Structure 1
């Protein structure tokens, strides 16, 4: 391919990422793919399914991307790799990470949120007089991991009146919760309820924090600020392809994505993945609220401010400590990407 042709294609990919994808779909010439390394914050699981789907079914390739997914894990911290330039995009848990980045001057920014609801939840035994979220604060024991004690637990105390006297350390062992029917435990709403049903033989009552005011976005994609400034088309293509991947994973044939998940995490079985996907759908974790009209990945500045203000009230940040204009950009989302594909997949 001539130098002039290569330059023209590169310019097309930056100015018109959709035309780039169309050219590939129509059987255009073999084009060089942009190498992208995308790191997650934990081992492969259904909660990462849309990214694996986009890799497995060729969506990333259709958008001119050669994507490597680099899983996280208990002994793997991928967060420092993004500002260091060793990865291109990072999947993080929620906006607290983004607030901390701005507070500490880390040159990264959130470019999309694949989950409209944070899956963090509190779970209770059935038949113990817990019928409302507010009843949970009456539990004598609440099992909470150390990191959560300094994040959403502070919000629960400020907004719902939970007390530190209830706290017990949760070490990701279900045994203590299963043994104490009066206790409450934190959990990832698309994972722990499945394990509790398998080990305890009962379905726990699950209360999403997101349904009760914990308004953070979750499973966000972060990019370096210089990437957003210098190569916005690359960011756009990665965001768009990831959104399409999530649409296909939730509403289409996800078998290829599941196969890659199990390749990267052999401990994950097909039944657990299926149950987790069902929970993501029933709880509206990925596709609810604004994403129904703006597309998966949607973000709004006013919601980011709402969550920030709650965290200030909870004492996690001081007023004015975080410049919200640097936390996230909506230039790559809210465009309805994936809505047409979803309509085709869910049509009767």
Structure 2
């Protein structure tokens, strides 16, 4: 080997040594704020973290549980959390009207995930029968669904006693009010477990022209604008996590139980099965997981404006951004 070749080889060795000495690219530190405590409703995100999907995408992810006194839209809008799983699409529009820079980049639940329940012997069969009754609902945006249902059937809000509903179904079981809201994947399962399943009448918002998508995936607008690659990485890993969770449900529940050991496993299994139906309904089946159904959002927007839940029409193009989903691997979005 000649002197020139030795010099070249020496430069290559030094170069490789310098590259080896360089620190690995630091993962982007991000957080995801859930709208409730750890449970099967959020299985896809916990699976994405446990299986290393976020890490592989270059994200150092922290999942922060929610609770009754925490506001996802406020925490993400203020920048305290990077991403969030918030309430329905109406929450995004109301938050933006308040000046919170939220952008929805995905939607989990593709059809209204709750119904209003009453006892079959109550004589209440339809929304018109709510007149003169005490009706409980969550005041987390769900009240606007109730208002829209009443308006659809020509029932004035003043003709109904509308009361706030807690996270427990005990007041309904104890007949403290006539009608209550119940999600298909949680409260309704609780009532069935108490032997009340065949004693209930379900009054579904979808039957009265009101379709509400829930579990909106939101990000701060500033972060979206400044770090689109991190947002794309989050969406890619999240849909991958949800697909894995739905195809490996026992393992997904194992992961949820590890995050919250006090949960009832049978209840979580039933929750995931029901939640899967909501994820894969409508556009969730046609377009894939976390689809943003803009026509449905448009109809809800019109309803919110009509019933003065928001003061003026919103710019939907600023509030909802489906571009990241459009770039996610199609194979990961569809089962």
TM range (shorter): 0.7 to 0.9
String of CA shifts for 1:82-138, please: whole Å, max 9, x gaps. Answer: 23322211110112221122212222211111221232321122465666x556546
- Alignment RMSD (CA, Å): 3.2
Counterpart CA distance in 2 for 1:2 and 1:76 is: 50
Match of 1:42 among 15, 36, 41: 36
Equivalent residue runs for 1:54-133 within 5 Å = 54-126=48-120, 133=126
Counterpart CA distance in 2 for 1:178 and 1:234 is: 46
Which of structures 1 and 2 has the bigger CA Rg?
2
| TM-score, normalised by the number of residues in structure 2 | 0.81
Gaps of 5+ in 1: 8-28, 344-348
Whether the 8 Å contact between 1:189 and 1:208 is mirrored in structure 2 is no
Match of 1:238 among 229, 234, 238: 234
- Find the residue that maps to 2:197 and give its secondary structure: coil
Whether the 8 Å contact between 1:111 and 1:330 is mirrored in structure 2 is yes
Whether the 8 Å contact between 2:102 and 2:218 is mirrored in structure 1 is yes
- Find the residue that maps to 1:257 and give its secondary structure: helix
The Cα of 1:37 is off from its aligned counterpart by: 0.8
Equivalent residue runs for 1:231-310 within 5 Å = 231-250=227-246, 252-281=247-276, 284-310=277-303
Counterpart CA distance in 2 for 1:206 and 1:244 is: 34
The Cα of 1:62 is off from its aligned counterpart by: 2.8
Whether the 8 Å contact between 2:103 and 2:221 is mirrored in structure 1 is yes
Match in the other structure for 1:17: none
Counterpart CA distance in 2 for 1:225 and 1:216 is: 23
| TM-score, normalised by the number of residues in structure 1 | 0.79
Gaps of 5+ in 2: 1-15
Change (3 A) 1:165 1:264: farther
Greater CA drift, 69-78 or 197-206? 197-206
The answer to whether the aligner puts 1:187 opposite 2:187 as a matched pair is no
Match of 2:322 among 311, 318, 330: 330
- Find the residue that maps to 2:275 and give its secondary structure: helix
